[in-house]
Chain A
Amino acid sequence: MRKKLLIQDLKAIPYLLPFFLVYVVFTIFPVFKGFEMSLHEWKLVGKVDFIGIENYKKMISDPFFWETLWNTTKFVIYTTPTMILLALGLALLANLKTKLKKFFRAAYFLPSILSVSVISFLAIYMLQPYNGFVNTFLHLIGIQAEPFWIADKKLAWVAIVVVTLWWTVGFNMILFLAALQDIPDSLYEAAEIDGASRWQMFIHITLPQLVPIGKVILLLQIIASYKVFAQIMLITGGGPGGTTRPLIQYIYEVGFNKNLMGYAATMSYALFMILLILSIVQLRYQRKEN
């Protein structure tokens, strides 16, 4: 009996081993390595000194850590509700009874497949003052303002939020669209017989049916937004004056420009903990839904 079990185990090993190896080396091990690094003064090359929890103490009193964490949180606050409303609105449009619906869906999703470098570059050039596409278009329709989209503290956030929405709303739109198409027709038929108006049906049937997927999107969106980095670094460089610099950019600068890999790992750990809590909440919620 025991021998038979062992043979079965051995048979499974070749199937599991390749995944196991890359997974342990590149996904699991870095978590522990990061903890080790956070307890050391760790340079890009060479010297490693054990310093206990010094890096953690430094983090708590580092104003830039708090500033960039707050910037990232601001990004989450700005983009999450707007993202959900826009995704829902676009999903409703892509679900209209028209021959154009496939075109709508493809158009709303198209930016999502572009690389972050492409969309950032596109944003920089479209948002140039004086001869950028957006400003010249504003002039064409009679608005004689000259907004500095990237150099102005407030407008830089507007630019980042709008570009991010444009770039990433497609995924959430499709999740909403799939949920819309899953709502049974019989619900609308019953409401129609009861004399419900279109608006009443939307409020009392469509919206409640979308709440579960809406919650999933909300949590996925918060998690994804806490990881924001590339488009901000490429569009504003974190500026003007650090007003848009997100935590991951600061981690990168501390690690690679200031050569403080141990301290960078410490701040990564803080981010990791935030994301871990959010993903546990998310997985719990999804399990409950299923």
Chain B
Amino acid sequence: MSMPQLAPNIQDKTQIRQKSLLQRNRDSYLWIKVIIGLIAAVLFILPVIWMIFVSLKPDGYVTKNPVEWFLPPYTLDNYTRLLEESLILKWTWNSFIVAFITTLLSLLVTSLAAFAISRLKFRYKNFILVFFLLGLMIPGEATIIPLYEVAKSLGLIDTYAGLILPMIASSMGIIVLKSFFDNVPKELIESAVIDGCSTFKLFYKIILPLSKPAISAIGIFTFIGSWNNFLWPYLATLSEDLYTLPVGIPVFNSNYSTAYVLPMTANAIASIPVIIAFLIFEKQIVKGISFTGIKG
């Protein structure tokens, strides 16, 4: 809550005194709240910190003292061992390439359609818009069994294309981009058209650059969503070579016994890239959530 500012026309001294009393009252509990906030923040990041420290321990390390997890000796042996002996590098690459292409294609296909609906004239436009938005009411989880059949009959099971294509069409993307494109000032578009700008040029030279905030927000969400997607890659991949990280990580649970260090190293390898991306893009992510309300 922001500090109230005194309206300039208020001269009454009793009111001013009341106000300063209130302000003292206002701040007196702040430090308690900040401490509660700090404890909560530490609890939220502690598991992630613990994971990273465990990954730096010698293989097979176990302790009954929780503090000792964080103390030296540290080693990077687990990382080299996992990268050399397991498929985790391949899985990281799969996750990256699938997330990257999904994001690129999704942005391309969705922004083209949103542009047509927002800026071009054609018949049955409202019908098409409503049809494209029906997807908001079709949860992927509830159609996953028939989707598997569709992908199977198209020969997409156990292929990169099978991991990417079903995840491209986003009704949410259509809504967000259309409303963004709608808000591009009319004068800009009219003057471009008068200058002889073609429709496609209008799209990629004027509309797209002006919609960067929306595009980057949707892009970040699509990328993170794809990077972390579990259910579809779990069903659509058969060979270990094609696993993405979320599908591959549980393999360590069975293959490498219940020792802590290697599984947590696998976890850290899967998480460090997204944590770095998060620290870089935190502002856009937060903004993106508050103007789209996109979940996950």
A110 touches B120 (CB 8 A): no
- Given the contacts A19-B112, A175-B289, A98 and B50 also touching, CB distance less than 8 Å: no
CA distance A198 to B150 in the complex (A): 58
Residue of B nearest to A128 (CB): B258
CA distance A32 to B246 in the complex (A): 30
The answer to the question of A76 belonging to the interface, with a C-beta cut-off of 8 Å to chain B, is no
The answer to the question of A70 belonging to the interface, with a C-beta cut-off of 8 Å to chain B, is no
Option from A33, A131, A175 in Cβ contact (under 8 Å) with B62: A131
- Given the contacts A108-B41, A116-B230, A279-B136, A9 and B123 also touching, CB distance less than 8 Å: yes
- Given the contacts A171-B295, A224-B295, A283-B136, A30 and B143 also touching, CB distance less than 8 Å: yes
- Given the contacts A115-B249, A118-B270, A283 and B137 also touching, CB distance less than 8 Å: yes
Sort chain B's interface into a size bin.
Answer: 35 or more
- Contacts of A183 on B, CB cut-off 8 Å? 1
- Given the contacts A12-B120, A34-B143, A136 and B275 also touching, CB distance less than 8 Å: no
The answer to the question of B47 belonging to the interface, with a C-beta cut-off of 8 Å to chain A, is yes
- Contacts of A104 on B, CB cut-off 8 Å? 37-38, 40-41
User: Can you list 8 contacts pairing A with B, beta carbon distance less than 8 Å?
Assistant: A8-B122, A26-B151, A97-B3, A114-B48, A177-B290, A206-B1, A248-B231, A268-B142
Option from A16, A113, A131, A139 in Cβ contact (under 8 Å) with B224: A113
B112 touches A15 (CB 8 A): yes
A27 touches B41 (CB 8 A): no
Option from B19, B41, B65 in Cβ contact (under 8 Å) with A136: B65
Least CB distance from A9 to B in Å reads 5
CA distance A195 to B17 in the complex (A): 11
The answer to the question of A208 belonging to the interface, with a C-beta cut-off of 8 Å to chain B, is no
The answer to the question of A271 belonging to the interface, with a C-beta cut-off of 8 Å to chain B, is yes
The answer to the question of A63 belonging to the interface, with a C-beta cut-off of 8 Å to chain B, is no
The answer to the question of A188 belonging to the interface, with a C-beta cut-off of 8 Å to chain B, is yes
Least CB distance from A194 to B in Å reads 10
CA distance A9 to B121 in the complex (A): 7
- Contacts of A174 on B, CB cut-off 8 Å? 286, 289-290
What 0/1 pattern do residues 263 to 282 of B give for CB contact below 8 A with A? 11011001100110111001
* Given A15-B113, A25-B165, 6 other A-B residues pairs in contact with their CB atoms under 8 A: A22-B166, A26-B165, A93-B36, A121-B249, A133-B47, A193-B19
- Contacts of B289 on A, CB cut-off 8 Å? 171, 174-175, 178
- Contacts of A185 on B, CB cut-off 8 Å? 2, 4-5
CA distance A253 to B154 in the complex (A): 23
- Contacts of A180 on B, CB cut-off 8 Å? 1
- Given the contacts A227-B139, A229-B141, A265-B145, A136 and B66 also touching, CB distance less than 8 Å: yes
Residue of B nearest to A134 (CB): B66
Least CB distance from B105 to A in Å reads 8
CA distance A279 to B45 in the complex (A): 33
Residue of A nearest to B63 (CB): A131
CA distance A12 to B119 in the complex (A): 10
Option from A22, A37, A220, A251 in Cβ contact (under 8 Å) with B109: A22
What 0/1 pattern do residues 119 to 158 of B give for CB contact below 8 A with A? 0111100001000101111110111111111110010000
Residue of B nearest to A95 (CB): B1
The answer to the question of B222 belonging to the interface, with a C-beta cut-off of 8 Å to chain A, is no
The answer to the question of A49 belonging to the interface, with a C-beta cut-off of 8 Å to chain B, is no
- Contacts of B123 on A, CB cut-off 8 Å? 5, 8-9
The answer to the question of A117 belonging to the interface, with a C-beta cut-off of 8 Å to chain B, is yes
What 0/1 pattern do residues 182 to 204 of B give for CB contact below 8 A with A? 00000000000000000100010
Interface size on A, residues (CB 8 A): 106
The answer to the question of A126 belonging to the interface, with a C-beta cut-off of 8 Å to chain B, is yes
Residue of A nearest to B3 (CB): A97
What 0/1 pattern do residues 92 to 111 of B give for CB contact below 8 A with A? 00000000000000001110
B116 touches A108 (CB 8 A): no
Residue of A nearest to B252 (CB): A121
B48 touches A111 (CB 8 A): yes
CA distance A271 to B140 in the complex (A): 11
Interface residues of B (CB under 8 A from A): 1-5, 7, 10, 15, 18-19, 22, 25-26, 30, 33-34, 36-38, 40-42, 44-45, 47-48, 50-51, 54, 62-67, 69, 108-110, 112-113, 115-117, 120-123, 128, 132, 134-139, 141-151, 154, 165-166, 168-169, 171, 174, 199, 203, 224, 227-228, 230-231, 235, 245-247, 249-250, 252-253, 258, 260, 263-264, 266-267, 270-271, 274-275, 277-279, 282, 285-286, 289-290, 293, 295-296
B4 touches A100 (CB 8 A): no
B66 touches A140 (CB 8 A): yes
- Given the contacts A37-B146, A104-B41, A108-B40, A198 and B25 also touching, CB distance less than 8 Å: yes
CA distance A110 to B3 in the complex (A): 28
- Contacts of B144 on A, CB cut-off 8 Å? 268
Query: 5 tightest CB-CB pairs across the interface, nearest first?
Result: A178-B290, A15-B116, A107-B41, A19-B113, A93-B37
CA distance A102 to B36 in the complex (A): 15
- Given the contacts A26-B165, A104-B41, A16 and B128 also touching, CB distance less than 8 Å: yes
B109 touches A115 (CB 8 A): no
A28 touches B4 (CB 8 A): no
CA distance A159 to B166 in the complex (A): 33
- Given the contacts A20-B113, A30-B147, A174-B290, A117 and B18 also touching, CB distance less than 8 Å: no
- Contacts of A283 on B, CB cut-off 8 Å? 136-137
- Contacts of A255 on B, CB cut-off 8 Å? 145, 148
